[in-house]
Amino acid sequence: MAKFPYFYRTVPSELHICAGIVKLLKYFGWTWVGILAFDDENSMRAVQILREGIEQSGGCIEFIETLRQARSFRLQNIDIYNTFSTYSTKVIILYCNKDYREIIRHTPIWDAPGKVWIITEEWGFFFPSYSVDRKNTLAFAVTKKTIPSFHRFVREVNTAIFPNDSFIEMWWKDLCNNQCPKSIQRSCSSDETFLNLLLCDSINSGDSYNVYNAVYGLAHALHDLITSGSRNTAQWSGESERFLDFLSWKLHHYLKNLHFKNVLGEEILFDENGDLAIGYDIINVVILPDGSRIKEIVGSYNPYAPPEQEFTIYEEAIMWESTFNETPPEFRCSPSCPPGFRKLTREREPVCCYDCIPCPEGEVSSQNDIDTCTKCPEDQWPNQKKDTCIPKVISFLTYQEPLGITLIFTCIFLILINTVILGIFIHYKDTPIVKANNRGLSYILLISLMLCFLCSLVFIGHPDKMTCILRQTAFGISFSIALSSILAKSTTVVMAFHATKPGSKLQKWMGSRISISVVLFCSLIQTVLCLAWLFTAPPFPYLNMKSEIGTILTECNEGSIFAFYCVLGYLGFLAGVSFIIAFLARNLPDRFNEAKYITFSMLVFCSVWISFIPTYLSTKGKYMVAVEIFAILASSAGLLGCIFFPKCYIILLRPERNSRKYL
């Protein structure tokens, strides 16, 4: 640091070259690569930068092979070539400086088939003669420009001014090669021979442009130093060492602030690190079977350009080998995971080696190579491919669907039958059989059963606040009235039989007031239960998004499940008491025993509702609603049929039995 306090670089920086290579890999999605480099300091520093950049961008390095220049170099190259067959990666980054280009270009590693080489600097264009029909090489080279009159200078320079310089002599002979560009090719005598194309390509490369800018940059800095009014250098002639110290310090100041336009009109300056602010061309090198070479510029990388303009690739200009199944080829340790899948890293393997597994239920991935799937919002669900979220289907029992239509027609049919029976009882109200079965209770029971049929319609359609409240309360109160009427009937039958015995005290309790009081009292208890339910935790509409996959169940939440089962329990209590009383009175000596029909109707009622509870709890959504509607219709129809059909049969078809004498 003390020896070289000021450092300016006019050749490519490892930092920028490596950043360009990482961007190239990322552009093509090549995440599985290998690195081959010499063990010199610059190459090792570049390998470290490459490793960090590749890993940060999500790539992995399968191998890093280091070449050492020694007597066993040829054997070492053979060993490395042999190990290439064991590596799965097809992308190899070759990083080494020009000092080793003659060594590396004569190694057999270029014969490894199906490899894509990414190399630095134009020296990589010099492949050995046996590497023919090669198309898989991408090189980073300093952007080259044609310097005005430079080729004429090269072609016409007088070599006599460089006596005893073997390099100049070799260079001069190389210009005789007819494969050199016409602009620098010279006419040669037959006894002059050429060695190779090395110098032709060097003259025509970006290195010449680099040297040109470096020389002119130094000239501009010296010019600025001299013209800035600095002290006359003559006075320092006796103190040359102090003068040089002063000159380097002053020159550093002007180089640091150097900024000029060269003859091509390009901005020339050094950045904060002392690097010449230049860009790089990405070149596709193709060697055809006839030995001719094509060097096509297929992209560029300029670290000093704006972020959106610093990297450019012309994909259609790249020539790939015909052996590749797709272009551009895909080089990965594992194939890309499509949308709908996520990556699962394999144990003890790099992160680029993974398995693709489908997203779990309720989650999606919309891009390739996702590490974790994302959950859909509650009102959405994954589509079949699990690559996007779609709105869930809203489900409820509608009037338009077959199940809803069937239940509606069943309900209407039962209401019509109920209405006809009520009409028959009203029309034949003065007949003995209607009178004997307590006309008032029969009317109340028929009307309450009609209300039970009607309240089942409230369960169909989109639930809202009002229908949710009416569903259970209307059902509970209607059924309590019906069961209270049956209880009153059962009690009346027993009391009527015992009241006919001589000296019975039950005669004074006979009459419609007692039966009506039983109905009102029992119904009032259910009404109080329902009101308490509504004031504490009333039912409300609820969107159930978790019960069924891909479906939003629009249903009524009971609010208080305890209150719901209290209402059902009370109905069960009424039915049980009615059943017991009727069962005990089933064998009373009557020709037309009402207690038998009540007993059978209660058996039907209890059977329906006992089977309802487990079925109701095991279903969801609209089918749960349909089960409850079925239970309401079936139990109501059971009461209607068991109690009133026998009476209607006698009234309409056996009128001779409808007499006081027969009863």
Radius of gyration from C-alpha coordinates of the chain: 50
| Same domain membership, residue 576 and residue 445 | yes
What the block records as the tokens of 158 is: 């007088």
Q: Is 225 a domain residue?
A: yes
Which 3-state string (H, E, C) describes 411-426? HHHHHHHHHHHHHHHH
Q: Is 621 a domain residue?
A: yes
Q: Please report, for residues 136, 164, 206, the alpha-carbon distance to residue 122 in angstroms, rounded to integers and kept in the order given.
A: 15, 29, 8
Q: Is the dihedral of CA 617, 620, 621, 625 positive or negative?
A: negative
Q: Is 322 a domain residue?
A: no
Q: Which secondary structure element, helix H or strand E, spans residue 298, and what is its range?
A: strand 293-301
Condensed to tens digits (0 to 9), the pLDDT of residues 152-190 reads 777 777 666 666 766 666 666 667 766 676 667 666 765
Mean pLDDT of 130-140: 67
Alpha-carbon distance of 232 to 539, in angstroms, equals 101
- 124 pLDDT band, cuts 50/70/90, is very low
In three-state secondary structure terms, 589 is: coil
- In 3D space, the residue among 510, 430, 444 whose CA is nearest the CA of residue 479 turns out to be 444
| Same domain membership, residue 615 and residue 507 | yes
Burial class (CB in 10 A: 0-12, 13-18, 19+), 605: buried
DSSP state of 377: P
Q: Which ranges in 237-365 belong to alpha helices (H)?
A: 240-256
Cβ–Cβ < 8 Å for 37, 43: yes
Q: Which residue has the higher pLDDT, 502 or 214?
A: 214
Cβ–Cβ < 8 Å for 103, 76: no
What the block records as the tokens of 513 is: 């007031």
Give residue for tokens 């670290």: 303
Q: What is the pLDDT of residue 226?
A: 80
DSSP state of 461: S
Q: Which residue has the higher pLDDT, 382 or 143?
A: 382
Alpha-carbon distance of 47 to 38, in angstroms, equals 10
Alpha-carbon distance of 29 to 18, in angstroms, equals 16
What domain range includes position 161? 145-199
Count Cβ atoms below 10 Å from residue 334 Cβ, excluding itself. 19
Condensed to tens digits (0 to 9), the pLDDT of residues 246-302 reads 566 778 788 888 888 888 888 888 887 778 888 888 988 877 766 667 788 899 998
- 341 pLDDT band, cuts 50/70/90, is very high
Alpha-carbon distance of 300 to 390, in angstroms, equals 42
Q: Residue 218: beta bridge partners?
A: none
| Same domain membership, residue 290 and residue 267 | no
pLDDT at 637 over 50: yes
Q: What is the pLDDT of residue 235?
A: 47
Percentage of the chain surpassing pLDDT 90?
Answer: 17
Condensed to tens digits (0 to 9), the pLDDT of residues 228-244 reads 755 554 444 444 555 55
Mean pLDDT of 207-224: 83
| Same domain membership, residue 591 and residue 559 | yes
Backbone angles phi, psi at 638, to 5 degrees: -60, -45
What the block records as the tokens of 313 is: 């690739």
What the block records as the tokens of 192 is: 């002059």
Q: What is the pLDDT of residue 51?
A: 92
Q: Which residue has the higher pLDDT, 313 or 378?
A: 313
Mean pLDDT of 569-598: 76
Alpha-carbon distance of 598 to 240, in angstroms, equals 132
Q: Is 238 a domain residue?
A: no
DSSP state of 310: S
**What DSSP string runs through 535-582?**
HHS--EEEEE-SSSTTEEEEEEE-S-HHHHHHHHHHHHHHHHHHHHHH
Condensed to tens digits (0 to 9), the pLDDT of residues 512-563 reads 577 788 889 999 999 999 999 999 989 998 888 877 777 888 888 888 889 9
Q: What is the pLDDT of residue 215?
A: 87
Return the amino acid letter for 513. R
| Same domain membership, residue 149 and residue 139 | no
pLDDT at 128 over 60: no
pLDDT at 25 over 50: yes
In three-state secondary structure terms, 645 is: helix
Q: Is 332 a domain residue?
A: no
Cβ–Cβ < 8 Å for 390, 379: no
| Same domain membership, residue 503 and residue 476 | yes
- In 3D space, the residue among 134, 282, 259, 313 whose CA is nearest the CA of residue 206 turns out to be 282
Condensed to tens digits (0 to 9), the pLDDT of residues 404-428 reads 999 999 999 999 999 999 999 999 8
| Same domain membership, residue 520 and residue 425 | yes
Backbone angles phi, psi at 529, to 5 degrees: -60, -45
Cβ–Cβ < 8 Å for 512, 492: no
Q: What is the pLDDT of residue 129?
A: 44
Q: What is the pLDDT of residue 121?
A: 67
Alpha-carbon distance of 644 to 259, in angstroms, equals 111
Q: Which of 260-269, 479-488, 499-508 has the highest mean pLDDT?
A: 479-488
Q: What is the pLDDT of residue 20?
A: 92
Mean pLDDT (the chain) is 80
| Same domain membership, residue 350 and residue 294 | no
Cβ–Cβ < 8 Å for 82, 103: no
| Same domain membership, residue 217 and residue 190 | no
Q: Is 446 a domain residue?
A: yes
Q: What is the pLDDT of residue 345?
A: 87
Cβ–Cβ < 8 Å for 477, 523: yes
pLDDT at 356 over 90: yes
Where does residue 112 fall: left (phi above 0), alpha (psi -120 to 50 degrees), or beta otherwise? beta
| Same domain membership, residue 617 and residue 538 | yes
What the block records as the tokens of 471 is: 């569903």
- 590 pLDDT band, cuts 50/70/90, is low
pLDDT at 323 over 80: no
Biggest alpha carbon–alpha carbon distance for the chain: 160
Cβ–Cβ < 8 Å for 55, 31: no
Query: Which residues have CB under 8 Å from 642's CB, separation 6+?
Result: 597, 598, 600, 601, 604
How many helices and strands, by DSSP H and E, does the chain display?
17, 19
Q: Residue 282: beta bridge partners?
A: 140, 299
Q: What is the pLDDT of residue 99?
A: 63
Angle value at C-alpha 632, between 629 and 636, nearest 5 degrees: 145
From 337-341, 433-437, 623-627, the region with the lowest mean pLDDT: 433-437
| Same domain membership, residue 494 and residue 642 | yes
| Same domain membership, residue 622 and residue 511 | yes
Alpha-carbon distance of 465 to 460, in angstroms, equals 14
Mean pLDDT of 110-124: 72
End-to-end CA distance of the chain: 129
Q: Which of 156-160, 234-238, 500-504, 650-654 has the highest mean pLDDT?
A: 650-654
Q: What is the pLDDT of residue 291?
A: 63
pLDDT at 470 over 70: yes
Q: Is 579 a domain residue?
A: yes
Q: Is 3 a domain residue?
A: no
pLDDT at 195 over 60: no
Q: How many domains does the chain have?
A: 5
Q: What is the pLDDT of residue 98?
A: 65
pLDDT at 662 over 80: no
Q: What is the pLDDT of residue 1?
A: 44
Give residue for tokens 């059978």: 600
Q: Which secondary structure element, helix H or strand E, spans residue 174, and what is its range?
A: helix 166-174
